[in-house]
Structure 1
Amino acid sequence: MCEQCEDRPRYLAEILDRIEEYGWCVQGVLGTGSRPPWAYSVGLTAHGLPELVVTGLPPHPAILLLSALADRSFASGPPHPGELFSLRGLPSVEVVELTSPSTHLSIAVSLYGPDVRALQLVHADEAGLFPWSPSYRDGRGGQPVLGTRADG
């Protein structure tokens, strides 16, 4: 059993301590079997910003991507659905608004309630293709998109 499941009040207190110290933190969820990993920010809501989510990336690149976009959100506002951008050393990203954040961001919802807003940072594969392309990752998938594209 994971730490957050064993003693949820203590775990939430630790998360709040991290948020107090750093302004926000990352909650990772390990992939199992056919379910890829995902990670999301917790604490941006307290600053009037949407939380950020990334699916299908290993922990280190997920943290780098979330950190870069959280820093950008604090400095110049959050990205907007449909926005495309590239960050040095990270895959290209398109922003998608989550359809149901409360389904995927359990720690953020525990702290801020069911009306948490969130944006997914949908990343391109090595060929520059996004999950809505049939050729994404040579047809192997691996990155669930948790909302609907702004233009599609």
Structure 2
Amino acid sequence: MCSACEDPDRSGYLERLREGVAERGWMVQGVVNSGSYPPWAYTIGLSGYDLPELVVTGLPVVAAGKLLNDVASRVLGSSPPAAGERVALPGGPLVEVVALAEPSAHLMVATALYGNEIRALQLVHADSCGRFPWSPDYRDGRGGQPVLGVRRARQM
């Protein structure tokens, strides 16, 4: 995590985020990988529209930011996908939506701005062979994408 996020007196950082959200509608908070944790990113600002924030794990921060920005712009124009829904993103991966059980445990900056009652959806992306992290063959057994909620059984 960045030093501004870890600083308990991060009011200047939070104020810059508030300004960015007011100007753009949302921002993306990227978290680079550290130790055994892969990189991840999430939106900040969708809660202001009474929408769930979006999260993606296991992608490089720039790719995660692009994916989140693309989906956030679609969500603002329509509605968020439902947990368990699979969405084929144009020019991107197939994703399955998973609701976070406890968003405030993972989205600390969004929680600081909007409170502990925020909602969040993880965009769980398939690997290049179309497999998801709950498959033992995902990324040929190498893993690398933590799922932050309980997968909802898909309706067939």
Which range, TM-score by smaller chain? over 0.9
* Structure 1 equivalent of residue 4 of structure 2: 3
SS of the residue 2:90 aligns to:
coil
- The correspondence for 2:28, drawn from 23, 26, 39, is 26
Q: CA RMSD in A?
A: 1.2
Which runs of structure 2 are paired with 1:64-143 in the superposition (5 Å)? 64-143=66-145
- The correspondence for 2:45, drawn from 32, 43, 46, is 43
SS of the residue 2:42 aligns to:
strand
Question: What letter corresponds to residue 13 of structure 1 in structure 2?
Answer: E
Question: What letter corresponds to residue 92 of structure 2 in structure 1?
Answer: L
Question: What letter corresponds to residue 5 of structure 1 in structure 2?
Answer: E
Which runs of structure 2 are paired with 1:44-59 in the superposition (5 Å)? 44-59=46-61
Question: What letter corresponds to residue 39 of structure 1 in structure 2?
Answer: A
In 1, Cα distance between the equivalents of 2:147 and 2:140? 17
In 2, Cα distance between the equivalents of 1:88 and 1:113? 33
**What are the superposed Cα offsets for residues 94-125 of structure 1, whole Å, 9 maximum, x if unpaired?**
00000110110000100111011000000000
Q: 68-77 or 5-14: which moved more?
A: 5-14
In 2, Cα distance between the equivalents of 1:88 and 1:69? 10
* Structure 2 equivalent of residue 148 of structure 1: 150
In 2, Cα distance between the equivalents of 1:31 and 1:109? 21
Question: What letter corresponds to residue 5 of structure 2 in structure 1?
Answer: Q
| Conserved 8 A contact 2:5-2:109 | no
SS of the residue 1:39 aligns to:
strand
**What 5-or-longer segments of structure 2 have no aligned partner?**
none
**What are the superposed Cα offsets for residues 40-75 of structure 1, whole Å, 9 maximum, x if unpaired?**
000000001000000000012101110111011111
Tell me the CA shift for residue 18 of structure 1.
0.5
**What 5-or-longer segments of structure 1 have no aligned partner?**
none
* Structure 2 equivalent of residue 13 of structure 1: 15
Tell me the CA shift for residue 89 of structure 1.
1.9
* Identical pairs, percent: 55
| Conserved 8 A contact 2:93-2:126 | yes
Q: TM-score, normalised by structure 1?
A: 0.96
